[in-house]
């Protein structure tokens, strides 16, 4: 064994003192080390035992879970198959009902019900599928025609009466499973019906008796895995089974899993797996069962299996796992005696240093005086730590530079948009500043504030795509021009959408002209449909619009602008950002510089020679100013 002195970076004196015992180690002390290792081995057996027990438990639980998943898969497959059959039959009945309406001209009363065309439709309907045993069409007087391969008995006649009563109420009907005929011809059937109406007027009922032979075949296939499958209705009566021990109509509520389904009633929407006991003679047999609801029919597909068979693999796994655990303990004893002496102490030092590195402390260094590979590993670790420390610093510096460049580029892009019109110069910067003050007042999280800053800065970037004749037009816009102007929100979002990093900012750019009352654009969203990001920018945008000069409007004093905005709160603007803006202004955090009127050529039909300053309108009452504020937002 190579003697080694180990330590983590510390004062030089400490490192020197740590090296001294390494040079003074005496080989005569080796037997003491063996004694210590013997004690450690005894201790290591206990964790190995608990570890193997835990692994055994985990594997046992996994095997149980796999058995439950198997039952769940079988019941879900059968449930989906039943639902698909029910849906297909409903579609066929709907098509038949439509054909009846066309063939009868919407009149199946009196002698019309006996029309050959209607009887032919029923015969074609029954012959279209082997699963259809019988079909009937009744008019509003309960008279009709029928076709099929069976004759309705008293029980089926009763089901037809129930179906007709349901049709009168405008309801579809799924009947109770019945067994018709005897001997080899015995079959399990169920009645499914739908009302027939024309122009909102009740004409009658069309019903089909479905042979459940397909379902019984599927249940019989499921028995190959040792399962006992069957289907029950909402009252717990048996619909069909894959084994002859159960008969149609049998009350199955003596089984706990069936009672659970019945008790859940309409609440049962997903499959459930349970352990329960079944009384077989004088013995209680522990079972594992699963039911999966068929919501369209108010049925449930149930499978069950004795736990002794279901968990047979678990018992085999336990015996094998215990044998392997014993072998692992014996092997660990041999390996530990050889390896623990050589690597335990140095490895502990390396582990501590690795944890420090994982915490982000890249200044850690390992001093390991050893001529083995562990010493080389320590040197490699130190070199890696040094490189990582420098790399992380470079990454941080590059990230800061990239962020500054990114924000600067955004600001330049927004400035370029603002410079298209002298009246909106600095508009994006001001909206950004007001938005951040609102966000600060609302105590929004830092990540949201960063998103808000970038989104507000770029909220009008879409005006790059608006023609100058509209953007710079003195006076009000025409309806057509106004529609073009409104596209700047979606244009801006489409311009920036390819930039994945700006995805979170797009709602503020695209939706800042939406209004709470649904009168905004581009989508007419209402209330909480509008993201908070867009609602904050909308308030800031409106405030800047009202407090700066435009060729069609003079700047309002801040107090008057806030009064207008308060009138818009709850109608077009979110009251919370409005209150935040008012609070920020009240503390003096918002200062408005008086705008200077800018001369701009008027439209050709009103122009005289040279540049003419467009006269600014006089202030308007607050009640009307709200609408002006709303219009202004379409121009900013």
Percent of the chain with pLDDT over 70: 74
Q: Is the predicted pLDDT of residue 589 greater than 70, yes or no?
A: yes
pLDDT value of residue 559: 92
Q: Minimum mean pLDDT among 271-275, 307-311, 368-372, 425-429: which range?
A: 368-372
pLDDT (tens digit per residue) in 308-334: 887 777 767 767 777 777 777 677 667
Q: At 237, phi and psi to the nearest 5?
A: -85, 145
- Minimal CA–CA distance to 389: which of 421, 356, 362, 420? 362
- Sheet with 272-280, side-by-side order of all strands: 238-241, 228-232, 299-306, 283-294, 272-280
Six-digit token string for 367: 């001093």
DSSP labels, 363-418: T--EEEE-SSHHHHHHHHHHHHHHHHHHHHHHHHHHHHHHHHHHHHHHHHHHHHHH
Mean pLDDT, the chain, integer? 78
* Confidence label for 562 from pLDDT (cuts 50, 70 and 90): very high
Average pLDDT, stretch 77-102? 88
DSSP labels, 60-117: HHHHHHHHHHHHHHHHHHHHHHHHHHHHHHHHHHHHHHHHHHHHHTT--SGGGGG-HH
Average pLDDT, stretch 329-356? 67
Q: Is the predicted pLDDT of residue 584 greater than 90, yes or no?
A: yes
Distance of CA 529 to the CA centre of its chain: 18
Q: What's the CA gap between 147 and 134, in Å, rounded?
A: 6
Average pLDDT, stretch 331-341? 66
How many Cα neighbours within 13 Å face the side chain of 204?
Answer: 26
Q: At 173, phi and psi to the nearest 5?
A: -140, 130
pLDDT value of residue 402: 72
pLDDT value of residue 35: 58
- Do 134 and 152 contact (CB within 8 A), yes or no? yes
Distance of CA 7 to the CA centre of its chain: 50
Q: What's the CA gap between 212 and 233, in Å, rounded?
A: 14
The yes or no reply on domain 68-309 and CATH 3.30.450.20 is: yes
Q: What's the CA gap between 94 and 230, in Å, rounded?
A: 29
Average pLDDT, stretch 550-574? 89
Q: Is the predicted pLDDT of residue 55 greater than 80, yes or no?
A: no
Average pLDDT, stretch 347-367? 71
Alpha-carbon dihedral of residues 335, 337, 341, 342, nearest 10 degrees?
-30
pLDDT value of residue 231: 93
DSSP labels, 247-266: -TT-B-TTSHHHHHHHHHGG
Give me the architecture of the 425-632 domain, per CATH: Orthogonal Bundle (1.10)
Q: Is the predicted pLDDT of residue 544 greater than 80, yes or no?
A: yes
Average pLDDT, stretch 41-67? 73
Number of C-beta neighbours around residue 68 at 10 A: 18
pLDDT (tens digit per residue) in 619-634: 444 444 444 444 443 3
Distance of CA 448 to the CA centre of its chain: 22
pLDDT value of residue 421: 61
Average pLDDT, stretch 462-477? 81
Determine if the peptide bond prior to 522 is cis (ω within 30°): yes
Q: What's the CA gap between 172 and 572, in Å, rounded?
A: 47
Strand duo 201-211 + 283-294: pairing? unpaired
* Confidence label for 604 from pLDDT (cuts 50, 70 and 90): very low
Q: Is the predicted pLDDT of residue 36 greater than 70, yes or no?
A: no
Strand duo 201-211 + 132-139: pairing? antiparallel
How many Cα neighbours within 13 Å face the side chain of 488?
Answer: 24
pLDDT (tens digit per residue) in 185-226: 788 899 999 998 887 888 889 999 998 888 888 888 888 878
pLDDT (tens digit per residue) in 502-527: 899 899 999 999 999 999 999 999 99
Domain boundaries, the chain: 68-309, 425-632
Q: Minimum mean pLDDT among 66-70, 136-140, 484-488, 622-626: which range?
A: 622-626
pLDDT value of residue 58: 77
Six-digit token string for 237: 């009566």
- Do 367 and 8 contact (CB within 8 A), yes or no? yes
pLDDT value of residue 11: 41
* Confidence label for 26 from pLDDT (cuts 50, 70 and 90): very low
Residue 579 to residues 322, 527, 583: CA-CA distances in angstroms?
Answer: 70, 17, 6
**Across-strand partners of 187?**
180
pLDDT (tens digit per residue) in 382-393: 777 777 777 777
pLDDT (tens digit per residue) in 263-322: 886 566 788 888 888 887 788 888 888 999 988 888 999 998 888 887 777 767 767 777
Distance of CA 476 to the CA centre of its chain: 46
Q: Is the predicted pLDDT of residue 571 greater than 80, yes or no?
A: yes
Q: What's the CA gap between 64 and 288, in Å, rounded?
A: 10
pLDDT value of residue 529: 93
pLDDT value of residue 568: 94
């Amino acid at each position: 064994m190579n003697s080694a002195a180990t330590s983590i970076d510390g004062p030089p004196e400490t490192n020197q003192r740590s090296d001294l015992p390494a040079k003074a180690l005496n080989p005569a002390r080796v037997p003491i080390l063996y004694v210590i290792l013997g004690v450690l081995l005894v201790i290591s057996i206990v964790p190995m035992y608990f570890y193997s027990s835990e692994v055994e438990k985990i594997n046992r639980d996994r095997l149980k879970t796999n058995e439950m998943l198997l039952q769940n898969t079988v019941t879900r497959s059968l449930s989906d198959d039943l639902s698909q059959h029910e849906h297909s039959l409903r579609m066929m009945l709907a098509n038949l009902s439509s054909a009846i309406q066309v063939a009868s001209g919407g009149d199946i009363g009196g002698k019309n019900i006996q029309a050959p065309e209607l009887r032919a439709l029923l015969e074609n309907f029954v012959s279209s599928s082997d699963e259809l045993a019988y079909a009937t069409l009744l008019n509003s007087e309960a008279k009709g025609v029928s076709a099929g391969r069976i004759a309705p008995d008293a029980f089926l006649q009763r089901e037809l009466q129930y179906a007709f009563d349901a049709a009168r109420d405008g309801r579809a009907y799924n009947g109770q499973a019945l067994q018709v005929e005897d001997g080899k011809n015995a079959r399990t059937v169920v009645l499914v019906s739908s009302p027939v109406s024309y122009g909102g007027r009740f004409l009658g009922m069309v019903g089909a008796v479905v042979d459940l032979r397909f379902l019984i075949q599927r249940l019989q296939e499921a028995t190959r895995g040792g399962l006992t499958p069957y289907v029950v209705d909402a009252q717990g009566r048996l619909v069909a089974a894959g084994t002859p021990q159960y008969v149609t109509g049998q009350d199955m509520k003596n089984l706990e899993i069936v009672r659970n389904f019945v008790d859940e009633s309409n609440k049962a929407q997903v499959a459930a797996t349970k352990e329960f006991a079944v009384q077989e003679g004088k013995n209680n047999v522990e079972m594992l069962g699963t039911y999966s609801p068929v919501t369209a029919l108010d049925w449930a597909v149930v499978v069950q299996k004795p736990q002794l068979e279901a968990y047979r693999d678990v018992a085999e796994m336990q015996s094998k796992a215990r044998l392997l655990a014993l072998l692992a303990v014996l092997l660990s004893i041999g390996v530990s005696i050889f390896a623990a002496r050589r690597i335990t102490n140095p490895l502990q030092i390396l582990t501590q240093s690795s944890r420090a590195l994982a915490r982000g402390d890249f200044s850690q260094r390992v001093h390991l005086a050893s001529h083995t590979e562990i010493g080389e590993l320590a040197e490699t670790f130190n070199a890696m730590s040094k490189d990582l420390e420098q790399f992380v610093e470079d990454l941080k510096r590059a990230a800061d530079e990239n962020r500054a460049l990114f924000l600067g580029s955004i600001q330049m892009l927004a400035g370029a948009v603002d410079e298209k019109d002298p009246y909106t110069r600095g508009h994006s910067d001001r909206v950004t500043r007001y938005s951040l003050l609102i966000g600060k007042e609302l105590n929004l999280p830092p990540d949201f504030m960063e998103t808000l800053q970038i989104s507000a800065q770029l909220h009008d970037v879409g005006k790059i795509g608006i023609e100058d004749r509209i953007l710079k037009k003195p006076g009000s816009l025409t309806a057509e021009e106004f529609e073009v102007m409104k596209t700047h929100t979606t244009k801006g979002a489409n311009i920036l959408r390819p930039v994945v990093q700006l995805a979170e900012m797009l709602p503020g750019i695209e939706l800042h002209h939406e209004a709470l009352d649904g009168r905004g654009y581009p989508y007419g969203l209402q209330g909480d449909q509008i993201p908070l990001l867009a609602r904050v920018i909308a308030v800031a945008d409106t405030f800047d619009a009202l407090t700066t000069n435009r060729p069609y409007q003079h700047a309002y004093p801040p107090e008057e602008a806030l009064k207008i905005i308060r009138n818009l709160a709850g109608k077009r603007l979110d009251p919370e950002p409005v209150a935040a803006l008012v609070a920020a202004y009240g503390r003096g955090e918002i200062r408005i510089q008086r705008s200077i009127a800018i001369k701009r050529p008027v439209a050709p039909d009103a122009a005289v020679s040279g540049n003419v300053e467009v006269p600014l309108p006089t202030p308007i009452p607050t009640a009307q100013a709200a609408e002006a504020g709303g219009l202004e937002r379409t121009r900013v």
